Amino acid sequence: MASDSSFLFSGIRFDRKKFGADIARFQKKESDTDSVKIWSVAEDESAKMREAVEEKTTSTKKRKRKGNSSETVEGFNVFRNSASGVQSSGEVQADEESIELNKMNKKEKNRQLERDAIFRKQHNIHVSGYNVPSPLQSFDELKSGYNCPSYLLRNLKELGFKLPTPIQRQAISVLLDGRECFACAPTGSGKTLAFVCPMLMKLKDPERGGIRAVILCHTRELSAQIFRECKKLAKRTKFRIKLMTKNLLRNADFSKFPCDILISTPLRLRLAIKKKKIDLSRVDYLVLDESDKLFEPELFKQIDSVLKACSNPSIIRSLFSATLPDFVEDRARELMHDAVRVIVGRKNMASETIKQKLVFTGSEEGKLLAIRQSFTESLNPPVLVFLQSKERAKELYGELAFDNIRVDVIHSDLSQQERENAVDNFRAGKTWVLIATDVVARGMDFKGVNCVINYDFPDSASAYVHRIGRSGRAGRTGEAITFYTEDDIPFLRNVANLMAASGCEVQSWLMELQKKKWKKHRPKRDSISTKPETA
């Protein structure tokens, strides 16, 4: 087409100024298609692609050295030395130079897009959104590309973090670029650092005059953990990082509240807004960790009042979780401006480093026998055991407490202090087996948990993913055993699917079972207790 039509234009000057907008439009389209094409490149082609990029660069250079007498605009051949025209030769040259510069910039941009695409493929990062910033190659790039303060690099080094994890590579650059973000990455893949690090960098220095950043998460245990992680990363600074405790809520004067980063559960922050008139209008950064949990109906009302109180129009919000159901994505899109979606691996998938197993126990009695047998044969602490209710957790504790193993229990009936002690003792290795409800199923980073036992079948796919994700963290291996009885068989296929998707071997009959919509499966189960009932 270009060569066919070129004769039509011979001797006619193409007014680039006049058609500048159209040229730019065309150029943008071209790069858009390039980036779409990039996504269809298979992983094993990445090396080939790198070669192609290099070859393309050299051939472009060669072409430039040769010096073309004509160039192509919108598919038409336009002659450089056209005879007629109103522009002076100086103006023509300036125009051409600026177009050439534009082209070079565009080419460099395309090359960068290609490099980013290859890198993302290698790290299993999937992004969508307009103009997504390049993922980080290393933590050093925080210094060279984003002027990271040296205290932070030093703290990262001291924590032993040599390379960013995939979610950190992408989410940090997105947030540093001032973009909103919703992200899904496997359990134990370092999401906390992915939002705390850019937050500290963006806040730059401590400031007086109100709360500047808020991190929300669904339990007190998790907020205490995030608080500790923030403190570690902010070591050597004077940032005022506060945890919204019961005491703080009761006693603080929020009209004079020196705080750069506030970490809270939604309920406590909502109370502070309503009763203590805490001012969130200056908040620049808001993180919703375990965002899918926070968007569930029972917590959404509390979240909503926080979202409304954070009224700064230039606020940057981000959502993180290992599970991202469609309804949360929809909410995120409604809520956020020009957000980037970052998914590491596949959405809602269990960590690939966990060996998963299903065990049929027949009855409730069978479960107790199975757990006792497993502990006598091969107790490899620390072990976390999940049950569907606090009553059942207490019952199992009552059974195992006298079995000569160091066992403890955690559930919502305990006092704050008792809950903290249970977590601390488990972390310190004083407790070998921690019996728990879903109160510690999400977000809790108990390093080195060797085995998770789902004594009671989880009530949803996300509960399964988060529970077993307490082991196999930060690249370590782990094990997950799920007991099932007749009552759970309708939902077995769902777990089998999750197991297969994360690379575990699954018996073929399991995959032939019917799939059933998994909606809060908490059947009434027989009592665990073997003690005679007191009248």
Q: Which residues bind ligand ATP (CB under 6 A)?
A: 161, 164-165, 168, 185, 187-193, 322, 443, 445, 447, 469, 473-474
* Least distance between ligand ATP and beta carbon 59 (Å): 39
* Least distance between ligand ATP and beta carbon 342 (Å): 13
* Least distance between ligand ATP and beta carbon 139 (Å): 8
Return the number of the residue (280 or 469) whose C-beta is nearest ligand ATP: 469
Return the number of the residue (52 or 159) whose C-beta is nearest ligand ATP: 159
* Least distance between ligand ATP and beta carbon 455 (Å): 20
Q: What is the 3 state secondary structure string of 480-518?
A: EEEEEEHHHHHHHHHHHHHHHHCCCCCCHHHHHCCCCCC
The CA distance from 419 to 516, in Å, is 35
Return the number of the residue (274 or 447) whose C-beta is nearest ligand ATP: 447
Structure tokens at 31: 């790069």
Return the number of the residue (10 or 138) whose C-beta is nearest ligand ATP: 138
* Least distance between ligand ATP and beta carbon 153 (Å): 13
Residues in CB range of 482: below 8 A, 6 or more apart? 356, 357, 358, 359, 453, 454, 457, 458, 464, 495
Return the number of the residue (191 or 212) whose C-beta is nearest ligand ATP: 191
Return the number of the residue (76 or 161) whose C-beta is nearest ligand ATP: 161
Q: Is the alpha carbon torsion for 181, 185, 187, 191 positive or negative?
A: negative
Return the number of the residue (165 or 361) whose C-beta is nearest ligand ATP: 165
The CA distance from 216 to 293, in Å, is 11
Return the number of the residue (355 or 467) whose C-beta is nearest ligand ATP: 467
Q: Are 411 and 438 in contact (CB under 8 A)?
A: no
Return the number of the residue (249 or 343) whose C-beta is nearest ligand ATP: 343
Return the number of the residue (289 or 456) whose C-beta is nearest ligand ATP: 289
Return the number of the residue (165 or 485) whose C-beta is nearest ligand ATP: 165
Cα distances from 427 to residues 378, 384, 401, 421, 449, in angstroms, run 20, 11, 19, 10, 9
Strand-by-strand arrangement of the 261-264 sheet: 125-128, 340-344, 181-184, 316-321, 285-289, 213-216, 261-264, 241-243
Return the number of the residue (164 or 345) whose C-beta is nearest ligand ATP: 164
Helix (H, G, I), strand (E, B) or coil at 345: coil
* Least distance between ligand ATP and beta carbon 297 (Å): 22
* Least distance between ligand ATP and beta carbon 492 (Å): 24
* Least distance between ligand ATP and beta carbon 446 (Å): 9
Q: What is the dihedral of CA 159, 164, 165, 171, to 10 degrees?
A: 120
- How many CA atoms are closer than 13 Å to the CA of 234, on its beta-carbon side? 24
Residues in CB range of 194: below 8 A, 6 or more apart? 165, 167, 168, 171, 172, 175, 183, 185, 320
Pairing of β 354-362 and β 241-243: unpaired
The CA distance from 383 to 9, in Å, is 78
Q: Are 217 and 226 in contact (CB under 8 A)?
A: yes
The CA distance from 439 to 444, in Å, is 9
* Least distance between ligand ATP and beta carbon 163 (Å): 6
* Least distance between ligand ATP and beta carbon 284 (Å): 22
Residues in CB range of 1: below 8 A, 6 or more apart? 75
Structure tokens at 474: 């930060």
Return the number of the residue (168 or 348) whose C-beta is nearest ligand ATP: 168
| Maximum pairwise Cα distance, the chain | 110
The CA distance from 384 to 386, in Å, is 7
* Least distance between ligand ATP and beta carbon 372 (Å): 29
CA-closest candidate to residue 371, choices 530, 478, 522: 530
* Least distance between ligand ATP and beta carbon 217 (Å): 9
* Least distance between ligand ATP and beta carbon 165 (Å): 5
Return the number of the residue (345 or 381) whose C-beta is nearest ligand ATP: 345
Give bridge partners of residue 316 from the DSSP assignment.
285
The CA distance from 193 to 229, in Å, is 8
CB count, 10 Å around CB of 246? 11
* Least distance between ligand ATP and beta carbon 443 (Å): 4
